[in-house]
Amino acid sequence: MIIHLQENISADNARKISSELEGKLIFNNKNKLIITSSKTKSIDKKYEDFISEKFVLESDIQLSSKDYIKKTRKVKINNIEVGGETNNTLMITGPCSIESEEQIRESANLLKKLNLTTLRAGCFKPRTSPYSFQGLGVEGLKMLSDIRDEFGFNIISEVKDASHVDDVIKYTDIIQIGAKAMYDHGILRETGQQNKPVLLKRGFGSNLQEFVQAAEFILSEGNPNVILCERGIRTFETKTRFTLDLCGVSFLKEYTNLPIILDTSHAMGYSYGVPDLTRACVAMGIDGLLIESHPNPKVAKSDASQQLNFKEFEEMFSSLVPICKAVNRNLI
C-alpha cells in the first residue's frame, strides 16, 4: 500500500506511523509517503486522519505501477527529457568500454555529426572472465568527463559495485546498473539515495516481477528517476547471445510507469542482427535505445562481435528516422 500523509504531519510523527505500519518512509519534496508491503490491504482507522490518499496495489510493483501513477514518468537528464509526454526516443551510443582518449574522441565526433546527446562507455566492466579487460576505472571516467565538458554531451557509465557509486555519480549524468548488478542491494540503495537518473538493466535470469522490484528498491529510497532497460534474457537458444524479450517490453509499457530503453547490442551479441532488431524495437514506440558502436570493432577490448562500426551505425540511424515518425516519436 502507498500512503500519502497529510502535509501538516511532522517528520517525527511520519517516522512513528511508518514504523508502526512496518513501512518505508520517503520524503518527496513536501510530500511524505509510506510504502508498506502490498500484502497490507487495509489499515487501522486510527491512522485515517493522517492520510491524504492511499493506493492499494496488487503486488510489490508499487511506486512503479500504472495503478499508482497513470502515465509514464518523465526523467530529466540535464537538458533532455525522456518519458512523460515527450514522445522522445533517446539514442544512447558509444563503445562498450572506453579504451583510450583517441577512441572516445572518435566516438564523440560521431555523436556530434549526428546531433546526438548521450555518450555511453563503460569504465568498470563486469566481465565474465577475470583475465579479460576490466576497464580503465576512474581514469576512464575522467576522460569521459573531459569529453562532456568539451562537447556538452550527457554521459552514461556503469557502476559495478557499491564502492564505485560516488565516482560514477561525480563524473556522469546517468548511472547504469548492469544486468549482473541488478540484484546488488548495495548499489540499488546507494543510487536510490541520490537524484541522478539511473538506467537499470534487467538481469538476464530475472523475470519481469523481479526486474521491476529491483527498480522499486531505488524508487523506495527516494530517487524517482529510474529508467528500465531490457537487454535480453537467457533462454534455451544459443545461436544469439540472449533473447530480447519484446513481450516483456509490452508488459512493462502497459503496467509500469517507468521509461523503457532497449539494448539490442547485448541481446543479439552479433553486429549483423543489431540494425534489424533495432528497427523492430523502434516500431514498438519506446523511450530509448542503447547501441554499442566502436571506431574499429575488430580490435575492441570488450564485446567486439556486437559493436557497430560507424558506417553501420550511421546507416542504421538514418533508417530509424522514418520509423520513429510513423509511430509518432522524436529520435533524439
Binding residues for Mn ion (CB under 5 A): 96, 303
Residues in the chain: 332
Using the minimum distance from each CB to ligand PEP, give the nearer residue, 95 or 275. 95
231 binds, among Mn ion, ligand PEP, none (CB under 5 to 8 A by kind): ligand PEP
Using the minimum distance from each CB to ligand PEP, give the nearer residue, 83 or 122. 122
CA distances 35 to 10, 21, 22, 171, 254, Å, are 17, 9, 9, 32, 22
Kindly state the cell numbers that stand for 233.
534474457
Contacts with ligand PEP: how many residues (CB under 6 A)?
Answer: 9
Using the minimum distance from each CB to Mn ion, give the nearer residue, 216 or 303. 303
Could you give the residue ranges of the DSSP H alpha helices within 21-114? Answer: 101-113
126 binds, among Mn ion, ligand PEP, none (CB under 5 to 8 A by kind): ligand PEP
Among residues 49, 47, 14, 43, the alpha carbon closest in space to that of 28 is found at 14
Of residues 266 through 325, those in contact with ligand PEP by CB under 6 A are 266
Kindly state the cell numbers that stand for 223.
530517487
Kindly state the cell numbers that stand for 70.
497513470
99 binds, among Mn ion, ligand PEP, none (CB under 5 to 8 A by kind): none
Among residues 129, 130, 135, 131, the alpha carbon closest in space to that of 158 is found at 135
Using the minimum distance from each CB to Mn ion, give the nearer residue, 96 or 108. 96
178 belongs to the binding site for ligand PEP (CB under 6 A) = yes
Q: Which range of residues in 32-40, 105-113, 175-183, 205-213 is near ligand PEP by CB under 6 A? A: 175-183
248 binds, among Mn ion, ligand PEP, none (CB under 5 to 8 A by kind): none
Query: Measured between alpha carbons, how far is 278 from 17 in angstroms, rounded to an integer?
Result: 48
201 belongs to the binding site for ligand PEP (CB under 6 A) = yes
179 belongs to the binding site for ligand PEP (CB under 6 A) = yes
CA 106 to chain centre: 25
96 belongs to the binding site for ligand PEP (CB under 6 A) = yes
As to burial, measured by CB atoms within 10 angstroms (0-12 exposed, 13-18 middle, 19+ buried), residue 189 is middle
Chain residues binding ligand PEP by CB under 6 A are 96, 122, 126, 178-180, 201, 231, 266
